[in-house]
């Protein structure tokens, strides 16, 4: 079976406690067949974004995950 992964990254304000008000979750529109390709591409994109922009002055990555939509735990489903 082929899996379907997407990435989500939580960015939080530098110097502030991570809370609902100080963090944002960004979801990728790209889908991947493997968790490894999702993780590698997400790291590449984040590294390039932090290198080419001034975002690191305001935000840091608090968490990043690749989620498998085709092989998920039923307890987390709606």
Domain boundaries, the chain: 5-72
Residue 77 has pLDDT above 60, yes or no: no
Taking residues 24-33, report their average pLDDT: 96
Q: What's the CA gap between 34 and 61, in Å, rounded? A: 22
Taking residues 36-49, report their average pLDDT: 96
* Residue closest to 46 by CA, chosen among 64, 25, 30: 64
What is the predicted pLDDT for the residue at 69?
92
What is the predicted pLDDT for the residue at 73?
61
Q: What's the CA gap between 13 and 30, in Å, rounded? A: 25
* Residue closest to 69 by CA, chosen among 26, 25, 27: 27
What is the predicted pLDDT for the residue at 2?
80
User: Percent of the chain at pLDDT above 70?
Assistant: 91
CA atoms within 13 A on the CB side of 77: 7
What is the predicted pLDDT for the residue at 76?
54
């Amino acid at each position: 079976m082929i899996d379907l992964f997407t990435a989500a990254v939580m960015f939080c304000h530098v110097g502030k406690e991570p809370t609902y008000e100080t963090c944002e979750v960004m979801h990728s529109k790209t889908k991947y067949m493997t968790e490894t390709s999702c993780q590698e591409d997400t790291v590449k994109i984040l590294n390039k974004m932090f290198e080419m922009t001034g975002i690191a002055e305001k935000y840091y990555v608090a968490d990043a995950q690749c989620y498998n939509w085709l092989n998920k735990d039923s307890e987390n489903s709606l």
